[in-house]
Amino acid sequence: MNAERLLDRFLQYVAIDTTANDANDGYPSSEGQWELGRLLVGQLTEIGLDDVHQDEHGLVWATIAPTTDKDAPVVAFNAHLDTSPETSGAGVKPQVIRGYKGGDIKLPGDPGQVIRVADNPELDDLLDATLVTTDGTTLLGGDDKAGLAIIVEAAAYLVNHPEIVHGPIRVLFTCDEEIGRGVNHVDLDKLGAAVCYTLDGDAADKIDVETFSADLATVTVRGVNIHPSIAKGRMVNAVRAAAEFVSRLPKDQLSPETTEDRQGFIHPYHLDGGVGQVVLKLILRDFETAVLTKQADLLRETANEVEREFPGVAISVDVMPQYRNPADGLVKEPRAAAYAQRAHERLGRTAQLTSIRGGTDGSLLTEKGLPTPNLSTGQHNPHSPLEWVCLEQMVGAVDVLVQLVQVWAQGPDVAG
């Protein structure tokens, strides 16, 4: 496995701004995703994959030909091109720390940004590792450019080692996963896979088999704007009503700041507007899909209460499904997680089956009928200026993919 080449690929990818833009209805929502997709097409073609192309939606497709005549299931690997709009992904200045010696990591671009061991205790297990951070002014893009680099390096390794027995492998890179549109244009018949794995998980040796179910709520608060000099009895301030609406949402039980494990939440994350109108966006999350309906009902009840207290204000609540917990779908194809565990065992490692407080393209693919667990990529602190990745964990993820395709080719009797 060529760790330096893997690192070089990753550094190339994070240099391209692929921030998703949910204000743009186009797909992909940012030009950088087209640019990164073109780069990947060139690299996959140079490696020697088949059917490499970027389609009219910016999706990147490729095939690794089988090395066996056995009728092995088609396995797909997926990662996404975009990065989160929550933190800037423009002008990323990656810092490569070789032979990490322990302790907090101060980021040079912003003295206030420090990756602290107290908040990242996993650092204690990564002494002498190679870490990559930002300078503290942007996110890094490990979510999910670590996944992209891992898949490309695994493809290169498999092509260069035709003695490794595996069935057909499909590569699919999607766009706009961070804004819930990742699989909008994925043709599952074209993909033709029996199972898929997203490379979009954190740390190492985890197999995510359960995620939140998720909805997006848009709350529009309409008031009446007029010059404040003649506002008495005529102005209806949407800003004040919106502030009251947010203040009434439960803080102790239903906010991400105060919940953990399997507790869901309602998270107001974006506000825009003025006296005449305010638009508030909130994400609704819970492992039990039915709870999302209760959360939406709570928003509507709160809206009604605020309307009564602010005569003249009109509040609408619109809820859009985003993704669903893949646990039910994965139960129907138990080999998806079991074979991933077997791949780790063949490397002398033990993989945890985990639940994550988020979602992936795998949530939507599983909902559409393609079982898709999520695998670790060595990324940490996603969506943040404190984001970092571990190169050794990325190399370990490449090793897992190489073993995983062999397990699928050999079938249920394969030895651990």
Domain range summary for the chain, segments of one domain joined by +: 3-211+325-410, 213-322
Task: Return the bridge partners of 60, or none.
Answer: 54, 173
Distance CA 77, CA 174 (A): 11
35 is catalytic: no
Residue ranges for the chain with pLDDT beneath 70: 412-416
Residue tagged active-site, from 17, 82, 200, 208 = 82
Alpha-carbon torsion 227, 229, 235, 241, what sign? Answer: positive
How much is the pLDDT for 398?
Answer: 98
Q: Where are the beta strands (DSSP E) in 102-211?
A: 105-106, 114-115, 131-133, 169-174, 195-202, 206-211
Is there a contact between 60 and 83 (Cβ–Cβ < 8 Å)? no
Write down the catalytic residue from 17, 144, 176, 177.
Answer: 177
Q: What residues contact 327, with CB distance under 8 A and at least 6 apart?
A: 209, 210
Q: Which CATH number does 213-322 carry?
A: 3.30.70.360
How far is Cα 377 from Cα 199, in angstroms, rounded to an integer?
A: 6
Question: Nearest CA to 184 among 74, 323, 72, 319?
Answer: 323
Per-residue pLDDT at 180: 86
* Three-state secondary-structure class, residue 210: strand
Whether residue 24 contacts residue 33, with contact meaning beta carbons closer than 8 Å, is answered with no
d(CA 169, CA 411): 15
Q: Model's pTM, two decimal places?
A: 0.90
Q: Which whole-number Å values give the CA distances from 334 to 288, 362, 399, in the listed order?
A: 21, 15, 22
CATH architecture of 3-211+325-410: 3-Layer(aba) Sandwich (3.40)
56 in active site:
no
**pLDDT of res. 414:** 46
Nearest to 336 by CA among 180, 132, 198: 198
